[in-house]
Amino acid sequence: MSLSQQLEHPIRYPERTSPPFMTKRSFWLVVLGFVLPGSAQVLAGNRKLGRVGLGATIALLLGGLLSVLGLIFFRVPTLSFFTHTIVLFVLQWVIVAYAILWVIIGFDTLRLTNLVKVGKNWRVPVSILSVCLTVLPVAGALWVSGTIGVGRDALSSIFARGASVAPVDGRYNILLLGADAGDGRDGLRPDSISVVSIDAKTGQSTIIGLPRELTGMPFPEDSPMHELHPTGFGNDWGCYIGRCYMNGLYTEISIFDPDRYAGVAKAGEEPGILALVDAASGATGLDVQFYVLIDMDGFSDLIDALGGVDINVQQRLPIGGDAHGNGIEGWIEAGQQHMNGFNAQWYARSRYTTDDYDRMRRQRELQEAILAQMNPVNVLKQFKDIVETGSSIVWTNMPESMLGPFLDLATRAKDHTPVTVELTPPEVQPEAPDYDYIHELVADAVRQASPAEEEE
């Protein structure tokens, strides 16, 4: 090695007989290798490996920058891109591949420090720093990759395949069902039924609460149920399930008439739920496009995964017990309460001392409390448990391609307070409903949750 090489490239050709210089050099290489992986190799080692590391690092940085710019200027397409399961699969393994490259470059950087020439008191600190700056980012990358995998599996299991769906009259209409398939009950019974109408531009929403005892729901003329009940559910000849209530419609079709939607249902769709979608459309006068069904049995695990929920209890409620007050196991006291999953589930289910309309209100309060707990910090801390629990309790016919638009609308919705209308007494009599009047109530609520320019 010539003197000119030593003077020109002191990092690549150091003076190894100078421990102070070698110590400084080692720290520089480790820090540079962490800040810009591959730079240490370009300066002092295998330049080919260094160029690979630098190229991969710059590509990831550019990808991250483009993603941020996309979220700022093209939010919906960007969200749609990153919620596609194939994109998530590729991203997951890109991160794993980069983590492997990081390990190779990190330990090669430690080799380049030439520890035996570093000052004796600094050899252990340099080694610890190098290992930490190699292992900790890799552990983080593997966690991110695993988290993406969990999310990808959840998306695949919850959401359907299919093309995006255009809004109807500028709104997306979704049937939200809270279902309970308890002991001694034939089939699944939706105890909480709502239609959420969302403005496709602003995210402003209207929530229409439908009582489970609603009767005589009209069906759209193109519904398979219209031929069977042309003047409304149960109005012509009754029904198979006895009392022709809305929450019995799932059982009516799924058990007694499962072929009713044979020519309409897509793969995996339940005919009973499709009948509920048609009934909700007829009852509200809205064209309901999607449904989301939540199994109330799984709420307990989801709430525990979120760390509990905060609810202001308006009156003392029993835990357990029948309609006559027998078998009560405990009480949920009135006042502000932080509830675990068990108590929150009973808060939504409790029947003794209250009526069904109060229970509907409590179930919607619980849904709002769960959404309040879905803050970024909480979700990141318990992401795996939340996603795995959600995958087991949520069913929907919403296509995966709609995730981007709905995530964007969810962000916009935070700027607005939902307009709520409950189709319950005294405004509406569920067993003798006036659907023309109900349609007027719903239309007025939708107008209140529409942009000002549309009102004009």
Give the model confidence (pLDDT) of 239-280 as tens digits.
Answer: 988 889 998 998 899 889 989 998 888 877 889 999 999 999
Nearest-10 crossing angle of helices 356-373, 341-349: 150
Structural domain ending residue among the three candidates 129, 158, 187: 158
Q: How far is CA 153 from CA 62, 157, 158, 239, in A?
A: 27, 6, 9, 40
Residue 316 lies in a domain: no
Per-residue pLDDT, 433: 96
Q: Which residue is it, tokens 């009102």? A: 455
Check residue 52 and give its pLDDT: 96
| Contact yes or no for 288/280 (Cβ under 8 A) | yes
- For residue 145, being part of any structural domain is answered with yes
Number of H helices and E strands in the chain, helices first, is: 18, 10
- Residue 411 within a domain: yes
- 323-359 pLDDT, tens digit per residue, is 677 888 899 999 999 999 999 988 988 877 888 788 8
190 vs 246: CA distance, rounded Å: 9
Q: Are residues 151 and 48 in the same domain?
A: yes
Ranges in the chain, pLDDT < 70:
1-9, 15, 180-188, 323, 375-380, 453-456
Look at residues 238, 226, 323, 336 and name the one whose alpha carbon lies nearest to residue 274: 226
Considering the domain architecture, whether residues 135 and 206 belong to the same structural domain is answered as no
pLDDT at position 286:
97
- In this structure, is residue 154 part of a structural domain? yes
Q: Of 123, 158, 193, which marks where a domain is finished?
A: 158
Residue at 360 is within a domain: no
Q: Are residues 300 and 443 in the same domain?
A: yes
pLDDT recorded at residue 184? 40
- How much is the pLDDT for 186? 47
337-348 as b/e: b if 16+ CB within 10 A: bebebebbbbbb
CATH number for the domain harbouring residue 383: 3.30.420.590
On whether both 178 and 138 belong to a single domain, the answer is: no
Same domain for 40 and 92: yes
Q: Two tokens at 166?
A: 């255009």
DSSP secondary structure string for all residues of 129-149: HHHHHHHHHHHHHHHHHHHHH
**Does 367 fall in a domain?**
no
Residues 184 and 261 in one domain: yes
Q: Is residue 335 part of a domain?
A: no
pLDDT of residue 187: 55
How far apart CA 373 and CA 377 sit, in angstroms, is 10
Residue 435's contacts (CB-CB under 8 Å, 6 or more residues apart) are 216, 217, 218, 232, 282, 283, 285
Name the amino acid, one letter, at 235.
N
Q: Which residue has the tokens 């979220």?
A: 71
How far apart CA 100 and CA 142 sit, in angstroms, is: 10
Domain end position, chosen among 126, 158, 190: 158
209 shares a domain with 188: yes
Tell me the three-class secondary structure of the chain, residue by residue.
CCHHHHHHCCCCCCCCCCHHHHHHHHHHHHHHHHHCCCHHHHHHCCHHHHHHHHHHHHHHHHHHHHHHHHHHHCHHHHHHHHCCHHHHHHHHHHHHHHHHHHHHHHHHHHHHCCHHHCCHHHHHHHHHHHHHHHHHHHHHHHHHHHHHHHHHHHHHHHCECCCCCCCECCEEEEEEEEEECCCCCCCCEEEEEEEEEEECCCCCEEEEEECCCCCCCCCCCCCHHHHHCCCCCCCCCCCCCCCCCHHHHHHHHHHHCCCCCCCCCCCCCCHHHHHHHHHHHHHHCCCCCEEEEEEHHHHHHHHHHCCCEEEEECCCEEEECCCCCCCEEEEECCEEEEECHHHHHHHHHCCCCCCHHHHHHHHHHHHHHHHHHCCHHHHHHCHHHHHHHHHHHEEECCEHHHHHHHHHHHHHHCCCCCEEEECCCCCCCCCCCCHHHHHHHHHHHHHHCCCHHHHC
Domain membership of residue 358 (yes or no) is no
Task: List residues bridging with 174 in a β-sheet.
Answer: 196, 290
pLDDT at 453: 60
Number of domain units in the chain: 2
Positive or negative: CA dihedral 265, 268, 272, 273: negative
Distance (Å, whole) CA 378 – CA 39:
37
For residues 50 and 199, state if they share a domain. no
Element (H, E) at 292: strand 290-295
Same domain assignment for residues 13 and 141: yes
Q: For residues 163 and 161, give the distance between their C-alpha atoms in angstroms, rounded to a whole number.
A: 7
Q: Are residues 153 and 182 in the same domain?
A: no
Domain around 238: 171-306+374-455
pLDDT of residue 162: 82
Tokens representing 287 are: 């064209």
153 and 201 share a domain?
no
Is the domain of 142 the same as that of 275?
no
Retrieve residue 268's tokens: 């995996």
